[in-house]
Structure formats: structure tokens, C-alpha cells
Amino acid sequence: MAVIAHLSDPHLTTGPLGAAPATALYRALGRVRTLDPPPDRVVITGDLVEHGTPEEYRALHEVIGRFPLPLHLVAGNHDNPEKLLAEFGNTRFLGGTTHYTADTLVVLDSAAGYLGAEQLAWLDRTLATTGPAFVCLHHPPIPVGIPFLDRQRLTDGEQLAAVVERHDVTAVLAGHVHRHVTAAFAGTILVTAPSTHLQSGLAMTGTVPDYLPEPTSFLLHLDGTTHTVPVSHAAGTVACY
């Protein structure tokens, strides 16, 4: 079984506000570099940048360009799939489209808030010919208990569940929530990763969550087990790349 490092929601931008999220992503990837053994693959589940501009994707490329492990990008609602493809299409970070496969990862594009019939049909065909797979997308397909974010969940989550439950899916990996959440989903599990930059408050009463500089982390998925790996406010070493 592949070992997957799961990061999410770096929200890179440019200008005076660009340093903090870029540094946070670089530090998180540096923490990934210290894992022994290293993960087989790294995935960042969406909201790669804040505004979806070409300048932001160039900034992202500068941060990840020298990262030595296999690294795969997922489109989120803050992303612009066309501009993402213009910068990363047919590179080692992305397929020729924004839904693609990379070994045990099956990456979907939920930038519009839904997958749509064509992408779901592609997923069904793809999972039929793969072994155990991690399905990766940005939006959680089910409620997570934070009403503001639940109103922004994947609108065709039931249709995704119908596809997933027909196949051998190790886990569905998502972002968007800026928190680590684990839930049962379609005969497997759904796991959302924290943000590498800011975390969302646990606003369960219907209020808009604050986005807080809480300690950052990422997830490590292996053999049916998920570990949380601290990044900031931790004694863990960080490697350069």
C-alpha cells in the first residue's frame, strides 16, 4: 500500500500578503522531507492559491518546483482550472487535465463545487481498472458539522458516493474545511486535511468560522491508518529542498 502525505489549502498569493502562506507551504513540505521512510506521493487537495491568477500559480511553482518527491495538485474553489493548467499542465505536478491518475491517486476537479456526469463517469471507468485507490478532491461530499462549510460541500456528493461504493477505494481525501475531519463515506472513509496556513474555527452554531493561526499539520495515510504530523509550533525538524 502506498504511503501518502496529504496537505491542503495553502492559499498562496502575491504582493505584501504573499510571504506567510508561501513560507507555511515551504515549511510543511520541508517537514514532509524529514519523514523516514519518505512517502511515496504527496497530494495538495485544493485551494492552491487565493485568487486563481497566473502570478499566483507562478509563485506556487517557485515554492514547489525543486521539491524532490512526487507531488500532485488538486483544483479547489479558489483555483482557476484553466490558469492552473496553463502553468502546470503536463508537468510532473498535474496531468493533461485537472482530473487525472497518478499511481494509486485518482484526482478529481471540484473547482465549480460539483463534479458533473462526465467526470463521474470517468471516475467509474478509472476505478474499474485500478487496484485500491485514494480518490482526491477539494470539497467534502458530506456535511462535517460546520454549517457555513456544509453549505459549500460537493453538490453531487450522493452521485460520488454511488460510484465510490462500487469500487475498491482506500479513502477519499479532501480539503476545504481547514481542519482534520474523519467520517464514514460510501463504504470507505472521508478524510479532510488541515490547511498549511490558517485553520478554521469549529463554528458548529451556524456562525461564519474565524480563520486562525493555529498550529499547522498535515496527514500521513498508510496501511489503513492516518497519522497527523505537526509542522508549526513543534520540535520536528524541517529539511530544505
* pTM: predicted TM-score of the whole model, two decimal places: 0.96
Within-domain flag for 239: no
Measured CA distances, 154 to 6, 98, 110, 131 (Å): 19, 17, 7, 25
Q: Is residue 180 part of a domain?
A: yes
Please state, in angstroms and as integers, the Cα–Cα distance from residue 199 to each residue in 8, 51, 106, 203, 216, following that order: 11, 18, 26, 12, 8
| Residue 79, Cβ density class (10 Å: 0-12 exposed, 13-18 middle, ≥19 buried) | buried
Instruction: Kindly report the CATH number assigned to the domain that includes residue 199.
Output: 3.60.21.10
Position 241 in a domain: no
Residue 193 lies inside a defined structural domain of this protein: yes
pLDDT in tens, 170-215: 999 999 999 999 999 999 999 999 999 999 999 999 888 999 999 9
Which domain range does residue 212 map to? Answer: 4-230
One-character DSSP codes across 66-118: T--S-EEE---TTS-HHHHHHHHTTSTTS-SSSSEEETTEEE---TTS---HH
Q: What pLDDT does 234 receive?
A: 65
Domain count, the chain: 1
Domain membership flag for residue 14: yes
Whether 235 is in a domain gets the answer: no
CB-CB contact of 127 with 169 (8 Å): yes
pLDDT in tens, 4-61: 999 999 999 999 999 999 999 999 999 999 999 999 999 999 999 999 999 999 999 9
> Does residue 160 form part of some domain?
yes
Q: Which of 161, 197, 200 is nearest to 180 (CA)?
A: 200
| 8 Å CB contact between 123 and 161 | no
